[in-house]
A = this chain, B = another copy of it.
Amino acid sequence: MNESIWTRQRAAAPGRETLSLDQIVQTAMALLDEEGVAGLSMRKLAAKLGAGATSLYWHVPTKNDLVDLLIDEVWGEIDVPQPELAGWRAGALLFAHSLRSAVLRHPWLPEVMYTRPSVGPKAMSLGARGLTLFGAAGFSGNEGDRAMSCVMSYVLGTVSAEVASREMVRKSGQSESDWMDQLRQETLAVADQYPEMQKSVHRRLEQGFETNLNENFAYGLDVMLDGLQTRIKQ
């Protein structure tokens, strides 16, 4: 197996001032957070660093590898409380909310997450801390893997959809309420033969954008944790 992005190390920089991988990752993160996936190009990134585009390729083999680094960076932002500090359920709740807010901070994640494997060191650390938490709750071995992975899948699934709808209104350049008015009309135009959907859209609009997203997330999370609770063997 060749050196991978995770293990490779370039020799220490000499006296001269040069680009560094850290610097590249940090700037790319900023660019991505501001402009989204479409806004990250090697040329733009290099320009923001005051460098030539192809200079980046000395530090990073490929744009995809750079993205892998950025994804791993996000995994590093996520809290998993130690089980002694909160109960397992409070811990899982905290973990889930931390995961959600990390994704909301980096809304480009869902777009790339499912394209690349997550085997970086920070993903590993996250996994280990998660397994410890669920392990302490009584999920051991396979059960621990499954318990953690179903919570993560739920959170990532929900928040990916959440990000999509948030990005929708952001890109429209309208206010939330203007955009929701427009959505209502568009939906009704398509869904006029589905009264169920009309009512559903109407309900969501009545509740308010933010409230609906929050409660939606909390509801499913609670459901999942309830389901897990009954599976704990004392």
Give the interface of A toward B (CB within 8 A).
1, 4, 6-7, 110-111, 113-117, 119-121, 124-125, 127-128, 131-132, 135, 141-142, 144-146, 149-150, 152-158, 160-161, 163-165, 168, 182-183, 185-187, 189-191, 194, 196-197, 200, 203-204, 207, 215-216, 219-220, 222-228, 230-231
Contacts and interface: CB of A to CB of B under 8 A. Distances in A.
26 contacts: A4-B189, A6-B190, A111-B114, A114-B164, A116-B164, A117-B165, A119-B186, A120-B190, A124-B190, A124-B191, A124-B197, A127-B194, A127-B196, A127-B200, A128-B197, A145-B204, A149-B158, A149-B216, A150-B154, A150-B220, A153-B154, A153-B157, A153-B158, A156-B161, A157-B160, A160-B160
B131 A196 contact: yes
B119 A154 contact: no
- The A interface, classified by DSSP as helix, strand, loop or mixed, is helix
A154 B152 CA distance: 9
Nearest to A206: B142
A189 B7 CA distance: 8
Nearest to A194: B128
Contacts of A194: 124-125, 127-128
Contact of A227 (B115, B183, B207, B225): B225
A110 B153 CA distance: 13
B197 A131 contact: yes
Given A114-B160, A145-B203, A189-B7, A219 B150 contact: yes
A144 B220 CA distance: 12
